[in-house]
């Protein structure tokens, strides 16, 4: 008998599965759904949650064309049927068609938004289909006229001789049909530096902040329409490192950085979402460098501990990316903007020279996010920053001063111990540079941090000069 095989079709994502049927004098046996083998051959790991059977008494029974908002794996048990599919998804492939005869050795994977229809070629045919969303009464979804001239399906049994429901006879033509819209990306924490960069990189995304969706609130999470999304980018976090050491800050840090990501991980598995979560070099104690993804977590302060807990929680989701980043710079208050302001105000600051790492510009982190999703890189933890040689904070400040026309030597250099003297500050890791090899292995080339810094400061100058004028 032929081996199990998966074949593509003219409709993107619609796959024909050739099943291995083992027969003898008693009848036959087949593995109707075999996750490990089928996924290895290219079938999506679509997590079915419900199995339905539709029995058709007479030859010529015709159903469709229905466009359900879920993925579907269809086969027949006994007899033969003609299957026809029309792409009802908004986009370039809208209206594309495909048909094939279904028998004991043929099944079809139907992605969300592709209209499906079936016509029995024998008496007593049962369709068996797995779906990855529970059916709900009253659910309305797009449909298409079986006789639509643009789809031009060649039905083996003429429709005027077929058994068709009154409802299916009243379905609209392709020109008037409702197009299935794609699920969107949701950016949580969209008002922050990273959130704004993610919205720019994902222009079709929906952005929400915690005042619109408090993911630490079970009622708010339960009420959100998660079925409208396929990816969640969690850019929300409590980042006040020193405040996290206070009683109030400790609660806020653990709520935002640990409890909220844990809630999103549960949501991701429940609704088959891909969860992208952003973490920090603070999950390491900074006693070694560069940090690779296999290094054990060793957080120092409350902020660091809460972020490490969030990393572990997100890792429980089946489809997840944890992007650890360092020294984030974007559209908002940050170290580079502060140094540029001090340079132009004639101030000569003292900056720590023994904390060493790499800048990460929010545009770079957003670019890496898009790369991982579009390349379908293996899920897991990735370290992401701009590239180039690691620098200290004092090195960065000196570069900014030079770019602003000041003498780099105007930046004083002190140790962390000297800078912390007399201050109640949370501990910082001294060595923060990441090993970027795992991300590079996916085909992502990190831009040098110095190149990105020069561009950032050049773009910052007009706004800074204007703001400085009386």
From 159, 176, 193, give the residue that closes a domain: 176
Contact 317, 268 (CB under 8 A): yes
Residues 304 and 447 in one domain: yes
Angle at 145 between CA 144 and CA 149, to 5 degrees: 110
From 109, 144, 176, give the residue that closes a domain: 176
Question: What does the pLDDT read at residue 465?
Answer: 41
Please give the radius of gyration of the chain, using alpha carbons only, rounded to the nearest integer.
28
Residues 243 and 274 in one domain: yes
Residues 170 and 71 in one domain: yes
Residues 327 and 451 in one domain: yes
Question: What does the pLDDT read at residue 210?
Answer: 84
Residues 146 and 214 in one domain: no
Residues 252 and 384 in one domain: yes
Helical residues (DSSP H) of 161-224, grouped into ranges: 166-169, 193-201, 218-223
Question: What does the pLDDT read at residue 470?
Answer: 25
Residues 273 and 421 in one domain: yes
Q: What is the pLDDT of residues 39-62, one digit of tens each?
A: 999 999 888 999 999 999 999 999
Contact 309, 238 (CB under 8 A): no
CATH number, domain with residue 22: 2.60.120.10
Number of domains present in the structure of the chain: 2
Question: What does the pLDDT read at residue 424?
Answer: 85
Using 70 as the pLDDT threshold, list the residues of the chain that sit under it: 1-2, 461-470
Question: What does the pLDDT read at residue 1?
Answer: 52
Q: What is the pLDDT of residues 4-52, one digit of tens each?
A: 999 999 999 999 999 999 888 998 899 999 999 999 999 998 889 999 9
Residues 141 and 209 in one domain: no
Q: Which residues are catalytic?
A: 66, 129
What is the crossing angle of helices 193-201 and 362-375, to 10°?
Answer: 50
From 143, 176, 209, give the residue that closes a domain: 176
Three-class SS state of 216: coil
Neighbours of 380 (CB within 10 A): 12
Question: What does the pLDDT read at residue 463?
Answer: 45
Burial class (CB in 10 A: 0-12, 13-18, 19+), 2: exposed
Residues 241 and 103 in one domain: no
CATH number, domain with residue 271: 3.40.50.720
Residues 138 and 216 in one domain: no
Question: What does the pLDDT read at residue 2?
Answer: 66
Paired residues of 180 in beta bridges = 89
Question: What does the pLDDT read at residue 447?
Answer: 97
In this structure, are strands 106-110 and 50-56 parallel, antiparallel, or unpaired?
Answer: unpaired
Domain residue limits at 228: 184-468
Question: What does the pLDDT read at residue 249?
Answer: 95
Residues 67 and 201 in one domain: no
Residues 159 and 270 in one domain: no
Measured CA to CA, the distance from residue 466 to residue 454 in angstroms comes to 19
Question: What does the pLDDT read at residue 466?
Answer: 36
Question: What does the pLDDT read at residue 332?
Answer: 87
The structure's pTM equals 0.84
């Amino acid at each position: 008998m032929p081996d199990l095989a998966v074949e593509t079709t003219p409709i993107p994502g619609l796959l024909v599965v050739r099943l291995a049927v083992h027969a003898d004098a008693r009848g036959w046996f087949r593995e109707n759904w075999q996750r490990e083998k089928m996924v290895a051959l290219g079938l999506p790991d679509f997590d079915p949650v419900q199995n339905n059977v539709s029995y058709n008494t007479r030859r010529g029974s015709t159903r469709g064309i229905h466009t359900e908002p879920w993925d579907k794996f269809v086969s027949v048990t006994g007899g033969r049927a003609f299957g026809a599919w029309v792409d009802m998804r908004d986009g370039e492939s809208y209206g594309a068609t495909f048909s094939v005869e279904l028998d004991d050795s043929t099944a079809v994977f139907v992605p969300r938004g592709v209209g499906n229809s079936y016509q029995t070629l024998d008496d007593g045919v049962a369709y068996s289909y797995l779906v990855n969303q529970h059916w709900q009464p009253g659910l309305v979804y797009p449909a298409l006229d079986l006789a639509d001239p643009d789809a031009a399906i060649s039905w083996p049994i003429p429709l005027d001789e077929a058994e068709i429901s009154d409802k299916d006879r009243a379905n609209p033509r392709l020109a008037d049909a409702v197009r299935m819209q794609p699920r969107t990306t949701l950016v949580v924490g969209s008002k922050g530096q990273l959130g704004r960069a993610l919205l720019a990189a994902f222009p079709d995304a929906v952005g929400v902040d915690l005042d619109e969706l408090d993911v630490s609130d079970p009622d708010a999470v339960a009420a959100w329409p998660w079925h409208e999304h396929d990816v969640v980018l969690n850019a929300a976090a409590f980042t006040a490192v020193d405040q996290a050491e206070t009683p109030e800050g400790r609660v806020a840090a653990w709520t935002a950085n640990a409890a909220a990501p844990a809630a999103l991980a549960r949501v991701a598995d429940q609704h088959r979402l891909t969860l992208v979560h952003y973490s920090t070099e603070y999950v390491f104690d900074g006693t070694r460098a560069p940090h690779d993804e296999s290094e054990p977590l060793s957080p120092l302060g409350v902020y660091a501990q809460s972020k490490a807990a969030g990393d572990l929680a997100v890792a429980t989701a089946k489809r997840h990316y944890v992007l650890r980043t360092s020294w984030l710079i974007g559209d908002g208050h940050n170290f580079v903007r502060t140094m540029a302001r001090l340079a132009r105000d004639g101030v000569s600051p003292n900056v720590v020279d023994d904390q060493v790492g790499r800048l990460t510009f929010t545009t770079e982190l957003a670019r890496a996010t898009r790369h991982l999703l579009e390349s379908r890189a293996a899920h897991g933890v990735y370290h992401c920053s701009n590239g180039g040689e690691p620098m200290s904070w004092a090195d960065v400040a000196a570069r900014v001063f030079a770019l602003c026309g000041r003498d780099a030597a105007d930046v004083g250099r002190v140790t962390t111990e000297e800078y912390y003297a007399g201050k109640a500050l949370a501990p910082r890791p001294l060595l923060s540079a990441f090993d970027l090899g795992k991300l590079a292995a996916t085909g992502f080339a990190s831009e040098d941090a110095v190149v990105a810094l020069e561009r950032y400061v050049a773009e910052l100058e007009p706004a800074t000069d204007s703001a400085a004028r009386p």
